[in-house]
Structure 1
Amino acid sequence: MQRFGNANKATLLTKQDWALLATTAGFKFCVVAFYMIGLITMLKEIGFDLKQLSWFYLLGGMEMAKFIVSPLIERYRLKRIGQFRGWLCLSSLIIFIALFMLHFIQPQRDFTLLMVACVLLNLSSLFFGCAALGLTCSILPFEQRGFGGVIQVIAGRIGKMLGGGLVLLIYHHYGWQSAVDLMGIFALLLILQISLYSESITTTEPQNNQLRFLFTRFFHFWRQPHIPLSWPILLLLVFIPSGMVVSSFIPRLNALGWSSQHIGLLLSVFEPLCAIAFTPLSGILLKKYSRVSVTQWVLFSQIFAFCLFILFEYVGTNFPYLIAVPILLLSITYALLVPCLLAMIMDKSTQTYATLDSALQFSVALFGAYLAGFISLRLAHAFGYLTVYLVATVIAVGIWRFFGCRKEAF
């Protein structure tokens, strides 16, 4: 297998490198959880209706625009500060400005200003995520990508607990401004860490850094000899089954009579803790076995998790808290799958265009996940949750068979 990205075996990451990889991943998920869980929940409790909240969900879809933002990061390199360090510092500073605006906004009275702050928050978070991904691909050597993925998944889950769980806890006890201020403190601490970080020069200058070339690379990337046709197909499909089921969690739990407090405890505390506990297993397996073998095993284990959702709909609805079992099991399999895919994405990203190549691949995967959520809620509304679980299981079996039949290509 060809090795792309930073394939230098002699490359040794410092403690400072590992610390920044962990905190950037954690902060990115913290911001996403703050927006998609914390902020949405706070606005709903304040009195926002579904029509108003739909605009905030729409803004959250900016994450799919990674393939648009990444060429800008490749083209405009802040060399004096560091290519990725510069973008990380700038985007985290804008995140802090957006949070500073939110502190002084009265949501019900200042809806327009609230939307402006949310646009700024999501846009800067998008740039931050692309820069963090580019840094990861550029400095992680081939042998450490599995472990690097494990570190980032664990950090991301901790970030989810902070941005979703802790923020809401602060909100319930101290109010809107204190919850927003907590995020502002996280942003300031990260800015301080980034300012003290010395970025290693591991990337080479692109032969062609014109914007037109960088944008057209979205099409040229998939035509490279080391990128089989089955790879973009796998990326598009791989998160559809889990995306369908995950998007049904909150409405299904509500329908079963779960309180908002118990839903938050399950999804923002126990679910991330399970992921944190089992994610290191992925790193151990990736050191002992190939990426392809581990991925195939995890894809099969996901099928078992989906089958438990189906079983619950038939025999477990009289015991509503039993649904926590398949939810936590799916979280574990997802936590095992992400480091595998992250390692494979980095393998296929060239060192010269680390940000762009990795962002292109993630954009395809995110599109599949968002599409799954869109379809899932409509299937549940029209035919019920059992249909969602059946469709997700069938697709998961198809993906597992597809991957198994073409694993030599990966």
Structure 2
Amino acid sequence: MTPARWALLGSLYITQFLALGFFFIALVAILRRERAPLESLSIISLLGLVWVVKVLWAPLVDRIRFGRLGHYRGWLILMQGGIVLTVLAIGRFDVVADFEVVFGLCLLLAVLCATQDIAADGLACRLLSRDQRGVGNGLQIAGGLLGNMLGGGVVLMLYPTIGWSGAMLVLALGVAVPLVQLLRFREPVLADGRDQVGALRTQMRRLVLVWRQPGGGRWLVLLSVYPLGIGLVYYLATPMLVDAGWSMEHVGFVMNVVGSLIGVASALAAGMLVRRVGRRRMLVAVGVAQVIALAAFLLPATGASGSWAVVGPLCLLFVTYSPVATVLCTMMMDRATPEHAATDFTAQYTVYTLVATVGGALAFQLAAVLGYPGVVMLAVAMASLAAVGASLLYQDPGTARAEPDLSAPLAVPSE
């Protein structure tokens, strides 16, 4: 991997969340400031469902090539360009008076960003060797956090000065950066015709076949358990802070800025440790770290309001949340075959996303019945189950079948 390719992957992962971060976070604040009804605000959360259902068209990304543009490179150029044009189009409408049009364009934007993510993941699976996947996925998680922080934080801070159209222009310019890099990039291709993956029906079968690899059933169980505990507490962190008497400004700063910066550092650190420590040990380590971080939340959950009683558990949560995603994504890439990279990875990541989303949705319902302490105890139990399961159930696919040699089958055009 050359520095230029690392930079390309980083900018792709940052910019896919740059615009989304703005519309998920900043748009809600802007609409509420303009006295938009709460019903308009609630519908924005539906944009997140696109990230769950994107698995349905992931096989198309693996199946369709674009001639001289390349395979994943072609998808990325089209999606990145589409995101730029859609953001510029949104800037031509009034966010309140034309809300229906703005929301429709935001839905299109979410589809474009989700498709860009599928292609970026497919490209990363092919470019990264086994030893590089930890760092690559640390970069993926860190890039998403940075993009979310820049779009949902920095651009929102600029909004009172530059206005709606100005904010859209800034977002469009940021998203356009990878286009320049993609034009200079030459995508490696799989030798011996393996890029020709057959009919779409065959490609769709990968959504099932990916779980039939050695250890696939046990891996599905782990993916279904691992994000549940931390998802329960992460979504409750904000109301806990509010109940503890924190101002909205302090909550936003800690959750979106401090949390993102800690998450970026911990994701990159975890990515570098994966190669040194090994997959299984890292999976167990982040599982144990989850248990400790979630148990610490019993302090604010039971009413402790001192600074360290609240800030300490929050920092532990931020330190743990990103490494969990980094390690799991690294293992997802291990199970993605080069010729079906986008579909295999997306199928696995969808399970992780869906479980985390369901956990967040259940958190508020469970809190109403069990209270904060009850939910935290449940989360600790789920995290403990995940840590134990990691040591008992995880099977590295590299130990069950030969690891694909990604250096041999790739024909790399000169750059």
Same fold? TM cut 0.5? yes
The total of aligned residue pairs comes to: 396
SS across alignment from 1:80: helix
Deviation at 1:320, TM superposition (A): 6.3
1:231 aligns with 2:219: yes
Question: 1:172/1:262 Cα in 2 relative to 1: closer, same or farther (>3 Å)?
Answer: farther
Match runs of 1:51-130 below 5 Å: 51-130=39-118
Deviation at 1:14, TM superposition (A): 1.7
CA RMSD, 1 decimal: 2.0
Q: Distance in 2 between matches of 1:252 and 1:48?
A: 26
Could you report, residue by residue, the CA deviation over 1:249-284 in whole angstroms, capped at 9, with x for unpaired residues? 333333333223222211221111112333333234
Deviation at 1:45, TM superposition (A): 2.3
Say whether the 8 Å CA contact 1:257–1:320 is kept in structure 2.
Answer: no
Letter in 1 for 2:209: H
Q: Distance in 2 between matches of 1:122 and 1:162?
A: 17
Tell me what 2:16 maps to. Answer: 28
Deviation at 1:305, TM superposition (A): 0.6
Tell me what 1:181 maps to. Answer: 169
Tell me what 1:262 maps to. Answer: 250
- Select which of 204, 208, 213 maps to 1:219: 208
- Select which of 354, 357, 381 maps to 1:394: 381
Match runs of 1:369-388 below 5 Å: 369-388=356-375
Match runs of 1:176-215 below 5 Å: 176-202=164-190, 205-206=194-195, 208-215=197-204
Deviation at 1:315, TM superposition (A): 5.0
Match runs of 1:331-410 below 5 Å: 331-408=318-395
Say whether the 8 Å CA contact 2:18–2:151 is kept in structure 1.
Answer: yes
SS across alignment from 1:353: helix
Say whether the 8 Å CA contact 1:227–1:348 is kept in structure 2.
Answer: no
Q: Distance in 1 between matches of 2:370 and 2:20?
A: 30
Deviation at 1:150, TM superposition (A): 2.1
Question: 1:316/1:172 Cα in 2 relative to 1: closer, same or farther (>3 Å)?
Answer: farther
Match runs of 1:133-172 below 5 Å: 133-172=121-160
Q: Distance in 1 between matches of 2:182 and 2:272?
A: 30
Question: 1:159/1:177 Cα in 2 relative to 1: closer, same or farther (>3 Å)?
Answer: same
Give structure 2 stretches of 5+ with no counterpart: 398-415
Say whether the 8 Å CA contact 1:275–1:331 is kept in structure 2.
Answer: yes
Q: Distance in 1 between matches of 2:307 and 2:40?
A: 31
Letter in 2 for 1:374: A
Question: 1:382/1:44 Cα in 2 relative to 1: closer, same or farther (>3 Å)?
Answer: farther
Deviation at 1:214, TM superposition (A): 1.7
Question: 1:102/1:255 Cα in 2 relative to 1: closer, same or farther (>3 Å)?
Answer: farther
SS across alignment from 2:223: helix
Deviation at 1:105, TM superposition (A): 1.6
Deviation at 1:71, TM superposition (A): 0.7
SS across alignment from 1:205: coil
Deviation at 1:363, TM superposition (A): 0.8
Q: Distance in 2 between matches of 1:217 and 1:272?
A: 34
Q: After the TM superposition, which of the residue ranges 147-156 and 388-397 deviates more from structure 2?
A: 147-156
TM-score, normalised via structure 1 length: 0.91
Say whether the 8 Å CA contact 1:206–1:352 is kept in structure 2.
Answer: yes
Could you report, residue by residue, the CA deviation over 1:66-90 in whole angstroms, capped at 9, with x for unpaired residues? 3112111111111310111111111
Deviation at 1:316, TM superposition (A): 1.3
Q: After the TM superposition, which of the residue ranges 350-359 and 205-214 deviates more from structure 2?
A: 205-214
Question: 1:120/1:200 Cα in 2 relative to 1: closer, same or farther (>3 Å)?
Answer: same
Deviation at 1:184, TM superposition (A): 1.1
1:245 aligns with 2:239: no
1:16 aligns with 2:4: yes
Question: 1:284/1:76 Cα in 2 relative to 1: closer, same or farther (>3 Å)?
Answer: closer
Deviation at 1:202, TM superposition (A): 4.0
Deviation at 1:409, TM superposition (A): 6.0
Say whether the 8 Å CA contact 2:244–2:303 is kept in structure 1.
Answer: no
What is the identity percentage for the equivalent residue pairs of Structure 1 and Structure 2?
A: 29
SS across alignment from 2:302: helix
Could you report, residue by residue, the CA deviation over 1:150-198 in whole angstroms, capped at 9, with x for unpaired residues? 2223322222221121011112443333222221111222222222222
Say whether the 8 Å CA contact 1:21–1:132 is kept in structure 2.
Answer: yes
SS across alignment from 2:274: helix
TM-score, normalised via structure 2 length: 0.90
Question: 1:208/1:395 Cα in 2 relative to 1: closer, same or farther (>3 Å)?
Answer: same
- Select which of 290, 300, 324 maps to 2:311: 324
Tell me what 2:259 maps to. Answer: 271
Letter in 2 for 1:323: V
